[in-house]
């Protein structure tokens, strides 16, 4: 219940004058009033608990999302101070939740490095909440205070049900911090529960469990040993907890090394390298004296740099940057320094070993170095300058040079190391970077000179390609066939209007083991990439692909399956968008042809089967029906054994054929499978074969 005009005293003015600005312009503080802003409020409260853990005063944080749209955050930190703050005469709890730019993060010694910097987080969340309750365990007692839209007072709840619509009685002359119980000796912490104000946030604004899950996991990596528990009791459709409350616990002891390993999806080229260092800088900051006057003072700061990075065989780049464990998705000075030093260091080493690496006179670029890189970059410093309250970009200028110096020193030491492991990994890495440079240059030249030719131009495609006539990408199909014998039959079986044929000679290069340079210099791989016409790796452009479907047509035997796997490895590693778009297929040729004998002048019927079980079922049915069939039953060892009519009817004609679409439901799981089956590490593959030997049907082996 809102206070009447007669109740609106100076007490209300002193509390609400700052927070009213937040309610009028919430976007200035939380970015927006949709789900993104709602989540930002939650981060502000969670980050306060995280800062306690970062300072070494807490080991666990619990976040509970209740069915009534409220959210509750518990921690076992020191607890918000409950004594009276001398300048305002208010308790520490009320100062934190009602005064903008108030808190323990302004150089008072409570936090040397924290995520909450501006001292507006808790008070902004309070201002934008229809109700906020805070409980503090400190000094053997439990204290409690409640607020409605930033104003302190008491809610008259009925029973144990807490609701923002309960009768509210604001404090009029002074405020009190209620003592509600006692705690065991040494127990401390803070509990905050709040209801976001529907007057501020849009109707469809919802807390995202997936975002919370990702943030909790990320934070547990950044603060080793911190236990973060998430509990969702909302039962919302489409969420993990739709069928009942769900609880997850995140705790990691490996720090950012474990984080980098978690983020990396490809096989490693290097181990995880840790780069450590620190630097000092001076900056002028306003400091308040005892009388509350501001004076510009020169202070010395220290910036600690800690980076975990590794390179993999892929070309995707994943870099996460943090300042005092707060994510900076848009980068800032620390990321600029990292990128600048990494490129400079690699250029220096590659130029010094140009002849050995066959690098030529071309300069490597940032994309060449960052291909396959997974990195977690963290810096810690007191009072960093962020661009805005949302803290997405670090602005402290001196950090750029400090990070650059640390990275350059540490990376050069790794690349020039004489230890056996580092030397081997550095050699492979430098070769990969040079290969990426050559691949980029080749792709650029290819893009400029090898576009799809029109009728007035000559084709630069491989001579062995039997292309189709139409230019309609949606209708066109490319069949990759195994060997020249199958090509001869396929030429007669295809519809040359829209079906193109590209033969390959046996088993192509295993690109899971080979470098980019080896792949590009391999005749079969290069021809396939050229025919598809969309580039490879980072330069692949799906819209430039020359065919709507790419169909792998190999023999129905072990060798055919091996060739198909090698081809799929090439597509997965270097033309993955084509697979993700569902444009790669595997043809399904028949294994057997059963000729059913009909009496009289009626011609015999040909029935094709695609597995042993299907053939046995067919033969049993024919015998039951009293029908005869010719023996021996034809078993197709290869596509070349079929005549053109049979191949068209069973495998190539869209009206009768069966195609298996190749999809990537889980890219990381597929990457692991390819690495197991096709990678250079033999031991796991041997274990896989031994484990599956017991269930192998020996009859399926062509020997």
The string of DSSP letters for 545-612 reads: -S-SEEEEE--SSHHHHHHHHHHHHHHHHH-HHHHHTT-EEEE---SEEEEEE-STTSPPEEEEESSH
Parallel, antiparallel, or unpaired: how do β-strands 477-482 and 499-504 relate? parallel
Q: What is the pLDDT of residues 469-525, one digit of tens each?
A: 998 899 999 999 987 777 888 899 999 999 999 998 877 887 766 766 677 778 888
CB 376 within 8 A of CB 370: no
Do 80 and 26 belong together in one domain?
yes
Do 248 and 263 belong together in one domain?
no
Q: How is residue 507 written in tokens?
A: 């088993």
Residue 622 placed within a domain: no
Residues in the chain with pLDDT < 50? 1-6, 8-13, 104-112, 114-119, 450-459, 666-668, 703
Residue 603 placed within a domain: no
Do 494 and 432 belong together in one domain?
no
Model pLDDT, residue 102: 57
Do 427 and 472 belong together in one domain?
no
How many Cα atoms within 13 Å fall on the side-chain side of residue 276? 3
Do 265 and 398 belong together in one domain?
yes
CB 83 within 8 A of CB 91: yes
CA 329 to chain CA centroid, Å, is 12
CATH value at residue 124: 3.30.565.10
Cis check for the bond before 632: say yes or no (omega within 30 of 0). yes
| Domains of the chain: total | 3
Do 208 and 265 belong together in one domain?
no
The H-or-E segment that residue 433 falls in is helix 420-449
Do 169 and 213 belong together in one domain?
yes
Do 127 and 204 belong together in one domain?
yes
* Domain end among 228, 253, 278: 253
Model pLDDT, residue 283: 83
* Domain end among 208, 236, 253: 253
Residue 78 placed within a domain: yes
Model pLDDT, residue 572: 83
For 540, the domain range is 464-589+661-700
């Amino acid at each position: 219940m809102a206070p009447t005009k007669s109740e609106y005293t100076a007490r209300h003015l002193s509390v609400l004058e700052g927070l009213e600005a937040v309610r009028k312009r919430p976007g200035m503080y939380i970015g927006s009033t949709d789900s993104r802003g709602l989540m930002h409020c939650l981060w502000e409260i969670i980050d306060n608990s995280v800062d306690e853990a970062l300072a070494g005063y807490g080991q666990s944080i619990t976040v509970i999302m209740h069915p009534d749209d409220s959210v509750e955050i518990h921690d076992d930190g020191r607890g918000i101070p409950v004594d009276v703050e001398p300048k305002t005469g208010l308790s520490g709890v009320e100062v934190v939740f009602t005064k903008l730019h108030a808190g323990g993060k302004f150089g008072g010694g409570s936090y040397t490095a924290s995520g909450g910097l501006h001292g507006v987080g808790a008070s902004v969340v309070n201002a934008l909440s229809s109700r906020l309750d805070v409980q503090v365990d400190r000094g053997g007692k439990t204290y409690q205070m409640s607020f409605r839209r930033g104003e302190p007072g008491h809610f008259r709840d009925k029973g144990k049900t807490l609701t923002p619509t309960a009768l509210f009685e604001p404090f009029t002359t002074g405020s009190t911090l209620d003592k509600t119980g006692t705690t065991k000796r040494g127990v401390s912490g803070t509990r905050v529960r709040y209801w976001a104000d529907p007057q501020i946030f849009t109707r469809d604004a919802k807390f995202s469990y997936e975002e919370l899950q990702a943030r909790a996991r990320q934070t547990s990596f950044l603060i080793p040993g911190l236990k973060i528990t998430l509990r969702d009791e909302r039962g919302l459709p489409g969420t993990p907890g739709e069928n009942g409350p769900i609880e997850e616990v995140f705790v990691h002891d490996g720090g950012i090394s474990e984080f980098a390993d978690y983020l990396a999806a490809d096989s490693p080229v290097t181990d995880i390298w840790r780069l450590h260092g620190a630097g000092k800088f001076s900056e002028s900051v306003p400091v308040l004296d005892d009388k509350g006057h501001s004076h510009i003072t020169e202070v010395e700061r220290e910036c600690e740099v800690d980076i975990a990075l590794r390179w993999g065989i892929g070309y995707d780049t994943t870099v996460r940057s943090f300042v005092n464990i707060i994510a900076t998705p848009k980068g800032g000075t620390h990321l600029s320094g990292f990128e600048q030093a990494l490129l400079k260091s690699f250029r220096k080493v590659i130029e010094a070993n140009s002849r050995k690496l066959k690098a030529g006179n071309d300069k490597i670029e940032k994309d060449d170095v960052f291909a396959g890189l997974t990195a977690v970059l963290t810096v810690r410093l007191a009072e960093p300058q962020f661009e805005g309250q949302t803290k997405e970009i670090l602005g402290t200028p001196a950090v750029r040079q400090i990070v650059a110096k640390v990275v350059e020193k540490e990376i050069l030491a790794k690349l020039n190391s004489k230890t056996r492991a580092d030397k081997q990994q550095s050699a492979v890495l430098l070769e990969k970077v040079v290969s990426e440079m050559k691949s980029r240059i080749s792709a650029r030249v290819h893009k400029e000179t090898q576009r799809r030719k029109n009728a007035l131009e000559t084709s630069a495609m491989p001579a062995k390609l039997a292309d189709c006539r139409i230019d309609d990408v949606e209708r066109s199909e490319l069949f990759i066939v195994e060997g020249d014998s199958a090509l001869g039959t396929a030429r007669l079986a295809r519809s040359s209007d829209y079906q193109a044929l590209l033969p390959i000679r046996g088993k192509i290069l295993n690109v899971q083991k080979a470098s980019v340079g080896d792949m590009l210099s391999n005749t079969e791989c290069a021809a396939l990439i050229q025919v598809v016409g969309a580039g490879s790796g980072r330069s692949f452009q799906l819209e430039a692909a020359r065919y709507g479907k790419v169909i792998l047509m190999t023999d129905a035997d072990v060798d055919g399956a091996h060739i198909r796997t090698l081809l799929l490895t090439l597509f997965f590693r270097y033309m993955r968008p084509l697979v993700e778009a569902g444009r790669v297929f595997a043809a399904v040729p028949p294994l057997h042809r059963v000729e059913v004998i009909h009496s009289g002048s009626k011609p015999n019927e040909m029935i094709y089967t695609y597995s042993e079980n299907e053939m046995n079922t067919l033969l049993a049915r024919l015998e039951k029906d009293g029908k005869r069939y010719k023996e021996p039953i034809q078993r197709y060892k290869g596509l070349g054994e079929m005549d053109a009519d049979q191949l068209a009817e069973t495998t190539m004609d869209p009206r009768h054929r069966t195609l298996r679409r190749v999809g990537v439901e889980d890219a990381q799981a597929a990457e692991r499978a390819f690495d197991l089956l096709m990678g250079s590490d033999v031991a796991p593959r041997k274990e896989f074969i031994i484990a599956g030997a017991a269930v192998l049907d020996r009859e399926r082996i062509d020997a």
